[in-house]
Every structure is written in structure tokens, then in C-alpha cells.
């Protein structure tokens, strides 16, 4: 089949676009506003941008009334946010926190989630989440769209603190991602979870490149120094 979005219809019962870009990590973002209202919401356009320094981003479409999301406003106004990993055993809480709700509704409480204080930012963490990033807001790129929900705010933040539950680290000091079993967004109303993995190492003796793929500034700098 072939179609052109907004020009040639796809002719299907359901739009296929989001189901073609999968799986997408979930940005389960917690923020707090100036009045102390806590907010927690999942975003399926989330990713790391670079590792030195570590920077992440999440993209937020407007709500059904065409308003900017509370998460975006809070991050911009407070200069902070927290990313919480959405794991398999938290899937129902993630779904509950996705609702459009009034500003003064605390999604932590609505989803039955216990808060944990952060070290460097005011936004709370999801205590049961196995991994959390405390982030300092950097900037927002805004992309105008079609219709009330089409516009998107892409928010960037620098990771200033990382929390990893000890029980998800294996004997080699690596995150046991299969044990964590993070969930990811698919298309339509579908999700998936990580329950298997495989490894591939780029051939050749390119240790700086491999250090970059691992996301280790120390290993990259060591190899670049050796080869200087």
C-alpha cells in the first residue's frame, strides 16, 4: 500500500503511522508546579539524545482542547523534571496516569503510587520504579501542527542524578533489563515489554566507538588519549 499523510488517504480502518515506529520507550515524567501540585504522566515519544553529558527528551502533543500539557508548563516554569522507568509491574499505574485530569489532581495518589524525594530537584520520583533520572530543564522546541492536538512541544533536559535499584544490577554491574522488563509503546492501543535480548559488537578494534555505544565518557576519553 501507499499513502501520503494529509493528501492521499491510507484507506485503512486504523491509522498505521505510530505502529510503524516501534517500540517506543515511555517517558513517565513527574513534575511539580509553583503551588506544590504534583503531576505524573507518560509520553511515548521519549529518548536519550547524547551521553556526555547525558541529555534526554520527551515530546508532548497538546491535550484534546488544544492546550499545552501540565508536564511541559511545569518543567519550563520549575526548570526540573524526573523520568521514571515504566516497568511491567507498573503498567496499570502508567495507564491510569495517562488520563487528562485537572491541574490539582495528583496522579501519584490516583494511581496508588508512593512518592520518593529526589536529591537535586523538587519533583518527586515514583518509588517503585527501578530507575529514575533527575533532570534539569534545558529548552523546548515547538512544532506547530494540524488541529487542536497536532502541535508538539519537544522538551530537553540534562540528567543530573540517576537512581538504580540495587536488585536490578547483575554480578557484572550491568542493568538486568530482562529482570526490569520495561514496557514500551506500540501503535493503536498496544504495548510490548522487554523479555529477551541479544548482543552484537561492531567488528574491528574500535574501542572509542564501542565506548560511545556503551555510553561511557570515561572509556571514550581513555581510548582517545591513548591514540592521541
**SS3 breakdown of the chain: % helix, strand, coil, rounded to 5?**
25, 35, 45
In tens, the pLDDT along 197-219 reads 999 888 888 888 888 877 778 87
Mean pLDDT of the chain: 94
In tens, the pLDDT along 4-20 reads 999 999 999 999 998 99
Mean pLDDT for the stretch of residues 34-52 = 96
Q: DSSP of 38-77, one letter per residue?
A: EEEEEESSEEEEEETTEEEEEEEE--TTSPPPHHHHHHHH
- pLDDT at position 224 is 67
User: With 70 as the cut, is the pLDDT of residue 189 above it?
Assistant: yes
Mean pLDDT for the stretch of residues 91-110 = 96
- pLDDT at position 210 is 80
Are the beta carbons of 86 and 70 closer than 8 angstroms?
Answer: no
For residues 222 and 132, what is the distance between their CA atoms, to the nearest angstrom? 28
% of the chain at pLDDT higher than 90: 84
User: With 80 as the cut, is the pLDDT of residue 161 above it?
Assistant: yes
For residues 82 and 46, what is the distance between their CA atoms, to the nearest angstrom? 13
Q: Which of 116-120, 150-154, 174-178, 201-205 has the lowest mean pLDDT?
A: 201-205
Strand partners, 58: 46, 155
Q: What is the pTM of this model?
A: 0.91
For residues 161 and 157, what is the distance between their CA atoms, to the nearest angstrom? 12
Compute φ and ψ for 210, nearest 5 degrees: -65, -35
Amino acid at each position: 500500500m501507499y499513502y501520503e499523510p494529509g493528501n492521499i488517504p491510507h484507506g485503512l480502518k486504523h491509522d498505521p503511522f505510530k505502529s510503524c515506529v516501534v517500540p517506543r520507550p515511555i517517558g513517565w515524567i513527574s513534575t511539580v508546579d509553583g503551588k506544590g501540585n504534583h503531576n505524573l504522566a507518560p509520553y511515548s515519544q521519549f529518548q536519550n539524545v547524547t551521553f556526555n553529558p547525558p541529555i534526554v527528551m520527551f515530546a508532548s502533543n497538546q491535550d484534546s482542547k488544544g492546550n499545552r500539557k501540565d508536564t511541559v508548563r511545569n518543567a519550563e516554569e520549575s526548570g526540573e523534571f524526573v523520568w521514571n522507568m515504566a516497568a511491567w509491574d507498573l503498567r496499570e499505574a502508567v495507564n491510569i496516569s495517562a488520563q487528562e485530569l485537572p491541574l490539582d489532581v495528583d496522579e501519584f495518589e490516583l494511581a496508588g503510587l508512593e512518592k520518593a524525594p529526589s536529591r537535586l530537584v523538587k519533583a518527586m520520583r515514583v518509588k517503585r520504579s527501578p530507575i529514575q533520572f533527575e533532570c534539569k530543564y534545558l529548552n523546548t522546541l515547538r512544532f506547530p501542527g494540524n488541529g487542536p492536538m497536532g502541535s508538539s512541544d519537544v522538551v530537553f533536559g540534562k540528567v543530573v542524578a540517576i537512581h538504580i535499584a540495587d536488585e536490578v544490577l547483575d554480578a557484572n554491574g550491568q542493568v538486568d533489563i530482562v529482570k526490569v522488563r520495561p514496557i514500551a509503546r506500540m501503535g493503536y492501543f498496544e504495548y510490548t515489554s522487554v523479555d529477551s535480548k541479544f548482543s552484537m559488537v561492531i567488528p574491528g578494534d574500535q574501542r572509542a566507538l564501542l565506548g560511545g555505544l556503551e555510553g561511557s565518557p570515561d572509556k571514550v576519553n581513555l581510548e582517545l588519549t591513548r591514540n592521541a
